[in-house]
């Protein structure tokens, strides 16, 4: 990679880890928030849904704007906006106020994924490798936030993680101002892509792809919202005196660290193996381990979660790569916007639904439901593979 590509990777990896700190700050704190606001799983699931709907719905205009005004400006907007609102959590005293602020943070975070993926797809020559590195950073954010939020919240109070992430966001925002804007990025893109023709669009393939991504988005939000609480309830290690919040966050982080490896191997493999085939394989194997999580406890549960995280997160760089090949260059931003709308917007419905299931049937039922969503995604990925490999005539 040249100097400009390295700077772009530096900005996007730092920002990607941070966006998942903002997204995942609440779930590890659920036991504390239930006491603080005298509430239940369902209403905290609604707060997660508010954040996630804003996170997803904002991706649609953000994807369009990434094509119009340039992706770097949108990344800067996300960093400053989310950072300021996260610091604003400190004085709030009601669940309603908290939900409104989380919705605002989600809206600013919504600009990130369409912008960063557009920036990478247009600016980096080795796209598969770049998406893999970018995905690793996101997985590390997803994996570390249960541990960080749980322990910081336990020691300093539930507001402290929000404020810390807010300050990090503002500092990263100042760094983003050193990255060249649209004109320079366009020059890099033209140099890297040369005169390569834009792909023809198969709209049916895109619909099938988005349906598969939507189902995986449901599983992501349902599992990530309640994984720390489920771990805290289901892991019992003799003689270890640790509260449910800290234990659940720590074990969830250990399990999710494998997601970074999944991102790395998928990012490397997608340049060598047919992307649709790799995508289907990851979903099928991930499905097995989601159902195992629903019926297991202690170390079997931890190992199942490790394998689930590896294969689930491996789908993300593959999805980003597939979209870059399915769409013409001038529609990358819009395509990534739609992708993250169906993944995080529609997918966020699983947070409230999973909260209802957890209140009425137990946390383990959440994982059975998410396994069914995995099966649907696998069916769509199978259809996509068959269509792509079908010989014309």
- Indicate if the pLDDT at residue 271 is higher than 70: yes
Distance of CA 69 to the CA centre of its chain: 24
**For the chain, what is the mean pLDDT?**
84
pLDDT value at position 103?
Answer: 94
Per-residue confidence band for 195, with pLDDT thresholds at 50, 70 and 90: very low
Q: Find the range with the poorest average confidence among 14-18, 96-100, 197-201.
A: 197-201
Gap between the Cα atoms of 379 and 371, Å rounded: 13
- The pLDDT tens digits of the residues spanning 42-64 come to 888 888 888 888 887 888 788 77
Per-residue confidence band for 392, with pLDDT thresholds at 50, 70 and 90: low
pLDDT value at position 233?
Answer: 81
Average pLDDT for residues 383-391, to the nearest whole number? 87
pLDDT value at position 188?
Answer: 47
188-213 exposure pattern, b = at least 16 Cβ within 10 A, e = fewer: bbeebbeeeeeeeeeeebbebbbbbb
More confident call, 196 vs 33: 33
- Indicate if the pLDDT at residue 288 is higher than 60: yes
Domain chopping of the chain, boundaries: 3-389
Check: CB of residue 262 under 8 Å from CB of residue 41: no
Report the C-alpha dihedral over residues 64, 70, 76, 81, rounded to 10 degrees: -30
Instruction: List, as one string, the DSSP characters of 4-50.
Output: HHHHHHHHHHHHHHHHHHHHHSSGGGHHHHHHHHT--HHHHHHHHHH
Say which DSSP state 348 is in.
G
- Indicate if the pLDDT at residue 77 is higher than 80: yes
pTM of the shown model: 0.72
- Indicate if the pLDDT at residue 173 is higher than 70: yes
pLDDT value at position 27?
Answer: 85
pLDDT value at position 239?
Answer: 56
Which residue, among 309, 339, 307, 311, has the nearest Cα to 323 in the 3D structure? Answer: 339
- Indicate if the pLDDT at residue 241 is higher than 60: no
Per-residue confidence band for 183, with pLDDT thresholds at 50, 70 and 90: very low
More confident call, 237 vs 156: 156
Gap between the Cα atoms of 42 and 110, Å rounded: 24
Gap between the Cα atoms of 388 and 317, Å rounded: 19
- Indicate if the pLDDT at residue 181 is higher than 70: no
CATH architecture of 3-389: Up-down Bundle (1.20)
210: number of CA atoms within 13 Å, CB side? 17
pLDDT value at position 393?
Answer: 42
Check: CB of residue 213 under 8 Å from CB of residue 336: no
Say which DSSP state 160 is in.
H
- Indicate if the pLDDT at residue 108 is higher than 90: yes
pLDDT value at position 138?
Answer: 83
Report percent pLDDT > 70 for the chain: 91
């Amino acid at each position: 990679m040249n100097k400009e590509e390295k700077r772009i990777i530096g900005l996007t990896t730092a920002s990607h880890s941070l966006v998942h700190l903002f997204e995942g700050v609440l779930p590890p704190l659920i036991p504390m928030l239930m006491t603080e606001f005298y509430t239940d799983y369902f209403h905290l699931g609604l707060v997660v849904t508010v954040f996630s709907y804003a996170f997803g719905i904002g991706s649609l205009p953000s994807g369009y704007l990434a094509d119009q005004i340039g992706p770097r400006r949108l990344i800067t907007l996300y960093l400053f906006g989310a950072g300021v609102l996260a610091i604003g959590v400190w004085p709030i005293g009601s669940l309603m106020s908290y939900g409104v602020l989380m919705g605002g943070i989600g809206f600013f975070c919504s600009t990130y994924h369409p912008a960063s993926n557009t920036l990478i797809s247009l600016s980096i020559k080795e796209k598969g490798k770049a998406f893999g590195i970018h995905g690793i950073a996101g997985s590390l954010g997803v994996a570390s936030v249960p541990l960080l939020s749980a322990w910081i919240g336990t020691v300093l109070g539930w507001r402290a993680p929000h404020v810390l992430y807010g300050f990090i966001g503002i500092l990263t925002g100042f760094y983003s101002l050193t990255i060249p804007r649209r004109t320079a990025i366009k020059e890099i893109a033209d140099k890297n892509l040369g005169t390569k023709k834009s792909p023809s669009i198969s709209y049916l393939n895109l619909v099938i792809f988005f349906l598969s991504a939507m189902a995986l988005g449901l599983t992501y939000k349902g599992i990530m919202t309640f994984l720390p609480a489920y771990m805290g309830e289901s892991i019992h290690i003799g003689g270890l005196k640790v509260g449910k919040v800290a234990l659940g966050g720590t074990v969830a982080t250990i399990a999710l660290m494998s997601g970074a490896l999944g991102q790395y191997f998928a990012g490397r493999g997608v340049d060598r193996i047919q992307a649709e085939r790799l995508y289907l394989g990851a979903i099928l194997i991930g499905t097995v381990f989601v159902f195992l999580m629903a019926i297991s406890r202690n170390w079997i549960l931890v190992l199942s979660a490790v394998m689930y995280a590896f294969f689930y997160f491996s789908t993300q760089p593959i999805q980003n790569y597939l979209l870059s090949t399915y769409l013409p260059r001038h529609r990358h931003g819009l395509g990534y916007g739609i992708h993250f709308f169906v993944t995080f917007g529609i997918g966020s419905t699983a947070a409230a639904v999973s909260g209802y299931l957890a209140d009425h049937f137990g946390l383990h039922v959440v994982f059975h439901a998410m396994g069914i969503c995995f099966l649907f995604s696998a069916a769509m990925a199978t259809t996509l593979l068959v269509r792509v490999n079908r010989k014309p005539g």
